[in-house]
């Protein structure tokens, strides 16, 4: 080995020839020895990379003769880390600022299979070094912009989205094949009746592929993530972070670190209200919500108003369950700081016009938070295309396990937002008197995260994307139209919400002659699972003059025959309840 730092191509070729992890570690140490010495004056705190277990110092310099290109010099006090530093220098040095910001290091790391043999602690440090390189490039870019307004701004790298599936709805044969993936759908009641599961808006069932991914994690490689220095920890960390990248692709987010794992939609919205809200809202500021919000997108803002004195306003709902968009200008003022809205109502199934709401937010300088718990599992949502600031959803509503959810936030907003919970994993450094928070997304993931649920979520997303969310949405609308046609013919039954073309796979109904609980009990006796109650949306029920309603909700494994069974069960429930009240 000479004292010359190898090129990136040379490093990649060498790694391809080394199949053994120990040999790769040895090669890392070898190329680390080729790093040029870093002057002592550069080994200062200002140049140290935060987030590395060992000391790493990294400095950017303009290349002589080509000031538009940067070169980097760096060093570490750990031999193996010096090798990782050498890889980054080979990858980034000699590039323009735009090229540096557009470079996707994950592709390189996967090519070199770095995450399969370096420990999670080293993996975290590698991520921190990449963030440091990008931060230095952004600083140079901002300096150039101030000197010359003509300078071109780099564009974000194109995100590799899952190829769009056919827009045709699922066929009967496809649905039958999908149903075979869900063991619980084979359940028979005590009297031999089959299960008809129509409570998907509350929670969905799990395909064998998701169950198998979670069982494999527990049986084959389970460990804690990010901190352990052994092979199990490395493999678990990689699967955990792979799930984060799956969510990134699902939502079209620009960066994986814009994806924060939470325990669910409720926790995600509370995080924004507590962290962003407490830091940014004051007495007199306004948050605009709607009358159709789930309590998870209502109570956190009420608590915020109690803490800060901000004011909550509520966009009304029409008699057929849609937003009164004509009144929107009356509710937006120079004091509006955030619009919080559900993408799809969990009661009426109404699909809200997100582009119009985002435009309204931009017009008054406000942010927008989208409760997408009933949307992400059923239709494609691109957060960059829609220009959404915050978005939340839950894993258990899209074939994944409970206990895992997602908060998406734009990088600049999450960067500027203080952490919510304190403890392990969310710090770069800590002393007895102070701490420095970690980089995104660790900043918001204190403590041991929901490791296996996150892995299950990743498997669920993969399963859905192979089918195609657009196809699922079209199929659900077919079921919804069939349900509307059947239920509207039942005497005394009132359907809530708009026509099927304006809603998702949710059909909620009320009968003046039958209490919602009674309807649900009779249907349950026939093996039909629906939901009765206020569905955590009491203000919306009050708007409709109801205390409770009954809700049937569909997903990709439901069938037209099950819709017909629901209608027949309602007719029978009506007969039984009327006979019993004579």
Rounded-to-integer distance, Cα 286 and Cα 334, Å: 9
Which of 365, 410, 407 has the alpha carbon at shortest distance from 387? 410
Name the phi and psi angles at 206, rounded to 5: -115, 130
DSSP string, 32-92: HTTSPPPPGGG-SGGGBPTT-SS-EEEEEEEETTEEEEEEEEEEESSHHHHHHHHHHHHHH
3 state SS for 21-35: HHHHHHHHHHHHCCC
Rounded-to-integer distance, Cα 60 and Cα 38, Å: 12
Name the phi and psi angles at 61, rounded to 5: -135, 145
Specify whether the CB–CB gap between 534 and 515 falls below 8 A.
Answer: no
550 is catalytic: no
Rounded-to-integer distance, Cα 25 and Cα 117, Å: 8
Name the phi and psi angles at 42, rounded to 5: -90, -15
Specify whether the CB–CB gap between 478 and 507 falls below 8 A.
Answer: no
Q: Which entry of 52, 364, 536, 550 is annotated as an active-site residue?
A: 536
For residues 343-358, one letter each, b for 16 or more C-beta atoms within 10 angstroms of the residue's C-beta and e for the rest, the string is bbbbbbbbbbbbeebb
Rounded-to-integer distance, Cα 103 and Cα 92, Å: 8
Which of 360, 322, 319, 323 has the alpha carbon at shortest distance from 338? 360
Distance of CA 471 to the CA centre of its chain: 21
Helix residue ranges, H only, 113-230: 120-147, 172-179, 208-216
Specify whether the CB–CB gap between 387 and 362 falls below 8 A.
Answer: yes
DSSP string, 460-492: HHHHHHHH-HHHHHHHHHHHHHHHHHHHTTSTT
Contacts of the segment 92-95: beta carbons below 8 A, 24+ positions apart = 92/133, 94/63, 94/69, 94/70, 95/69, 95/70
For residue 389, what are the contacts with CB-CB under 8 A and spacing of at least 6?
Answer: 361, 367, 368, 369, 409, 410, 413
Annotated active-site positions, please? Answer: 536
């Amino acid at each position: 080995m000479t004292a010359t730092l190898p090129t990136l191509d040379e490093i990649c070729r060498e790694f391809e020839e080394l199949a053994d992890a120990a040999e790769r570690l040895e090669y890392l140490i070898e190329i680390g020895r080729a790093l040029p010495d870093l002057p002592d004056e550069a080994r200062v705190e200002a140049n140290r990379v935060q987030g590395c277990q060992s000391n790493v110092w990294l400095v950017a310099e303009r290349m002589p003769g080509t000031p538009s290109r940067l070169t980097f010099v760096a060093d570490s006090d750990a031999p193996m880390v010096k090798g990782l530093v050498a890889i980054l220098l080979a990858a980034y040095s000699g590039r323009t600022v735009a090229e540096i910001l557009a470079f996707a290091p994950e592709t390189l790391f996967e090519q070199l299979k770095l995450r399969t043999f370096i420990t999670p602690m080293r993996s975290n440090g590698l991520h921190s070094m990449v963030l440091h390189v990008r931060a230095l490039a952004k600083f140079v870019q901002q300096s150039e912009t101030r000197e010359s307004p003509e300078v071109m701004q780099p564009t974000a790298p194109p995100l590799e989205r899952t190829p769009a599936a056919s827009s045709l709805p699922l066929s009967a044969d496809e649905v039958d094949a999908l149903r075979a993936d869900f063991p619980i759908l084979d359940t028979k009641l005590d009297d031999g009746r089959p299960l008809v599961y129509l409570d998907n808006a509350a929670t969905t069932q799990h395909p064998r592929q998701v169950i198998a991914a979670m069982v494999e994690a527990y049986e084959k490689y389970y460990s804690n993530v990010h901190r352990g220095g052994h092979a199990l920890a490395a493999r678990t960390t990689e699967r955990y972070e792979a799930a984060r990248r799956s969510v990134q692709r699902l939502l079209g987010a620009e960066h994986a670190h814009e994806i924060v794992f939470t325990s669910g939609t409720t926790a995600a919205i509370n995080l924004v209200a507590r962290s962003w809200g407490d830091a940014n809202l004051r007495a007199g500021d306004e948050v605009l919500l709607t009358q159709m919000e789930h309590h998870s997108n209502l109570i956190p803002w009420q608590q915020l108003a109690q803490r800060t004195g901000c004011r909550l306003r509520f966009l009304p709902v029409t008699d057929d369950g849609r937003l009164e968009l004509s009144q929107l200008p009356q509710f937006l003022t120079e004091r509006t700081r955030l619009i919080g809205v559900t993408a799809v109502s969990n009661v009426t199934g109404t699909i809200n016009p997100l582009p119009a709401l985002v435009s309204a937010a931009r017009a008054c300088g406000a942010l927008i938070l989208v409760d997408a718990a009933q949307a992400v599992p059923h239709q494609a949502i691109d957060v960059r295309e829609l220009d959404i600031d915050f978005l939340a959803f839950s894993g258990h509503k899209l074939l994944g396990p409970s206990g895992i959810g997602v908060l998406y936030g734009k990088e600049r907003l999450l960067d500027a937002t203080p952490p919510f919970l304190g403890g392990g994993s969310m710090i770069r450094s800590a002393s007895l008197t102070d701490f420095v928070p970690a980089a995104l997304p660790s900043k918001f993931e204190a403590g041991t995260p929901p490791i296996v649920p996150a892995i299950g979520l990743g498997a669920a997303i993969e399963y859905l994307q192979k089918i195609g969310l657009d196809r699922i949405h079209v199929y659900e609308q077919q079921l919804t139209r069939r349900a509307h046609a059947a239920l509207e013919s039942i005497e005394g039954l009132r359907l809530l919400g708009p026509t099927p073309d304006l809603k998702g796979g949710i059909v909620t109904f009320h009968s003046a002659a039958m209490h919602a609980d009674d309807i649900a009990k009779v249907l349950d006796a026939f093996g039909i699972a629906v939901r009765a109650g206020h569905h955590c949306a009491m203000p919306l029920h009050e708007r409709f003059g109801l205390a409770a309603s009954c809700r049937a909700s569909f997903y990709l494994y439901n069938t037209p025959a099950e819709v017909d069974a629901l209608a027949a069960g309602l007719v029978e429930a009506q007969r039984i309840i009327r006979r019993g009240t004579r």
